Amino acid sequence: MSKVVDYFLKYVAFDTQSAEDAGTVPSTEKQFALAKLLSEQLKNIGVKDVSMSEHGYVYGTIPANGDYNCQTVGFLAHMDTSPDCPDENVRPQLVKHYDGKDITLNKALGVKMTTKMFPFLKNYVGQDLITTDGTTLLGADDKAGIAEIMTMAETLLTHPEIPHGTIKIAFTPDEEVGHGVDFFDVPGWGADVAYTVDGGAWGEMEYETFNAASMKVTIHGSNIHPGSAKNKMKNSILIGLEFQSMLPENEKPQYTEKYEGFFHLNHIGGNVENTTLHYIVRDHDMTRFEERKALGKKIGEFLNAKYGEGTVEVEIADTYYNMAEKIRPHMYLMDVAAEAFKELGIETPAINPVRGGTDGSRLSYMGLPCPNLCTGGHNYHGKYEFICIQSMEKTVELLLKIAEKFTKVEKQA
């Protein structure tokens, strides 16, 4: 196995699942275990100024190996995994020289990853894949990014013939629950610009994300024995279903793609007396994003007029914004990456809008322009997650080339 795979398999053994609404950073104590390991590994390979903050952020520096008047570039990846699927006892499976057929992930449970469901599997015929065992996610989002950055760092430190300026490294907690950079020390880290390594298939990079908000709908009903409920009962569950029915039917994640936004109901719970619905609201276009939030409020007002004031509460909080606005003045970041891709055989990288967010979304608004690079993974946040080994190895080469190219990106006044 290559070094990047060795690192990756070590990292996915850690359960680092983050948690919604925990009120702390990191949201789960178990993320500290991986943070401590990464700190020790960085020190062992010779990275300087390695530190771990009280919130679990891991920072490090690779000093320049020449006298370059260049920008300091950073590379980041996040340690946590999604709350959407279990991350405990991950058992990676190696599929060597993939034959283009359906992959049995778990024979006992009848879990298969089929080419009908995932036609792009055919792109990996003859290559080596790492999959789940059909019971957990894999953790390539974003432990693949961590492994690739770590391998890049070790390569630079053991190959002084590769020219590079000062390079900053960081690993963050809680990206999956929207708090990945709540306490990130941008000035102290010292990068002028950065890249998150948190994307998908080899050959992809992004500089656009959704604008994002959370929407919590709380419904207060009135329960009474159903035998005597006429003109008295107010069933909060049914009012919740009514709220959902008033949102556009075709603007759910399963019906949208590319630049199309959505309302996503990702949790509902309650009883006749009280029901709560949790949504994420997404749109690339800021005007349309504001219209989506306004619609949620308007539906709440309509239902309050129908069932009585105070029946429905709609709370909306912005999470992050489309980083394109902050990247466009620094499109040379995309140009440098595109040149690196070209030298590795990708004539035209796939530049698609991220249908989600990255730590780079908020970092860009914190004064650190930060587009996103691929890791080689697919099907994140679920049991069908997998990654191609050759794509991971190519991504390491990509990071090395970007680091080298930054010796010619002059420091701005």
Amino acid at 396: V
**299 domain-assigned:** yes
Q: Are the beta carbons of 269 and 209 closer than 8 angstroms?
A: no
Closest to 247 in 3D by CA, of 189, 165, 314, 342: 314
Residue with tokens 């925990």, as numbered in its chain: 22
- 219 shares a domain with 192: no
Active site residue 84: no
Q: What are phi and psi of 104, to 5 degrees?
A: -80, 115
The CATH number of the domain holding residue 118 is 3.40.630.10
Q: Which residues contact 362 (CB under 8 A, 6 or more apart)?
A: 180, 181, 320
Closest to 314 in 3D by CA, of 330, 295, 288, 339: 295
- 226 shares a domain with 112: no
- 233 shares a domain with 84: no
The CATH number of the domain holding residue 252 is 3.30.70.360
Q: Where are the alpha helices (DSSP H) in 185-327?
A: 186-189, 236-245, 286-307, 324-327
Q: Which residues contact 153 (CB under 8 A, 6 or more apart)?
A: 42, 45, 47, 60, 62, 167, 169
Long-range Cβ pairs for the range 377-380 (8 Å, 24+): 377/138, 377/140, 377/141, 377/144, 377/200, 377/201, 378/118, 378/120, 378/200, 378/201, 379/113, 379/118, 380/82, 380/137, 380/140, 380/141, 380/200
Question: In the β-sheet with 93-95, what is the strand arrangement from edge to edge?
Answer: 93-95, 129-131, 386-388, 377-378
| Count: domains in the chain | 2
- 242 shares a domain with 129: no
- 225 shares a domain with 118: no
**357 domain-assigned:** yes
Catalytic residue among 142, 175, 198, 283: 175
End-to-end Cα separation, the chain, in angstroms: 44
Q: What are phi and psi of 212, to 5 degrees?
A: -135, 145
Amino acid at 144: A
- 153 shares a domain with 68: yes
- 115 shares a domain with 217: no
The pair of three-digit structure tokens given for residue 197, joined into one six-digit string: 């390594």
**23 domain-assigned:** yes
Alpha carbon of 411 to those of 110, 223, 259: distances in Å?
56, 66, 34
**49 domain-assigned:** yes
- 204 shares a domain with 215: no
- 23 shares a domain with 110: yes
- 20 shares a domain with 70: yes
**217 domain-assigned:** yes
Residue after which a domain boundary falls, among 304, 320, 336: 320
| Region for 23 from its dihedrals, namely left if φ exceeds 0, alpha if ψ lies in -120 to 50, beta otherwise | left
Q: Are the beta carbons of 259 and 353 closer than 8 angstroms?
A: yes
What is the Cα gyration radius of the chain? 23
**66 domain-assigned:** yes
- 274 shares a domain with 291: yes
Domain coverage including residue 291: 211-320
**252 domain-assigned:** yes
Residue after which a domain boundary falls, among 272, 302, 320: 320
- 113 shares a domain with 23: yes
Per-residue pLDDT of the chain (413 residues; tens, 9 = 90+): 699 999 999 999 999 999 988 989 999 999 999 999 999 999 999 999 999 999 999 999 999 999 999 999 999 999 999 999 999 999 999 999 999 999 999 999 999 999 999 999 999 999 999 999 999 999 999 999 999 999 999 999 999 999 999 999 999 999 999 899 999 999 999 999 999 999 999 999 999 999 999 999 999 999 999 999 899 999 999 999 999 999 999 999 999 998 999 999 999 999 999 999 999 999 999 999 999 999 999 999 999 999 999 999 999 999 889 999 999 999 999 999 999 999 999 999 999 888 887 899 999 999 999 999 999 999 999 999 999 999 999 999 999 999 999 999 988 76
Question: How far is Cα 160 from Cα 64, in angstroms, rounded to an integer?
Answer: 10
Residue after which a domain boundary falls, among 297, 320, 343: 320
**413 domain-assigned:** no
E strand residue ranges, 152-273: 167-172, 193-197, 204-206, 211-220, 262-270
Active site residue 80: yes
Helix (H, G, I), strand (E, B) or coil at 83: coil
